Amino acid sequence: MGERLKRRDWTAPVEGELTIALANCGYVAHLDRPDVDRRFQVLFPLSDVRVQTLDAGMLVIGYRINADALPIVREVRQAWFCVPIPDGGG
């Protein structure tokens, strides 16, 4: 049985570049933030990804591996609501 976070426990919105790619386990979503000479992972990658497009953006739903409490490893279902940010023109 899963546990649902209360809204007050959600993380603050983050900005990054969304990439969804086919991997051997299905589709995988990454949210990275480009830096001067490398990329930083903003959120843990999601696997077994499903995408639903909406008028204001898209909903990306998948599973991340939560290994924070080793030796217990849990699969956590997450949903990201992604909204495009207009290009700053630079």
- What whole-number percentage of the chain has pLDDT above 70? 92
Average pLDDT over residues 58-85: 85
In this structure, the number of other CB atoms found within 10 A of the CB of residue 45 comes to 18
| Residue 68 DSSP one-character state | T
Residue 1 has pLDDT above 60, yes or no: no
For residue 85, the Cα-to-chain-centroid distance in whole angstroms is 16
Tell me the sheet residues that pair with 30. Answer: 19
Q: How far is C-alpha 22 from the geometric centre of its chain's CA atoms?
A: 15
Write down the pLDDT at residue 13. 86
Alpha carbons 73 and 75: distance in angstroms, whole number: 7
Q: What's the pTM?
A: 0.74
Mean pLDDT of the chain: 84
Q: Please calculate the CA angle 75-79-81 and round it to the nearest 5 degrees.
A: 160
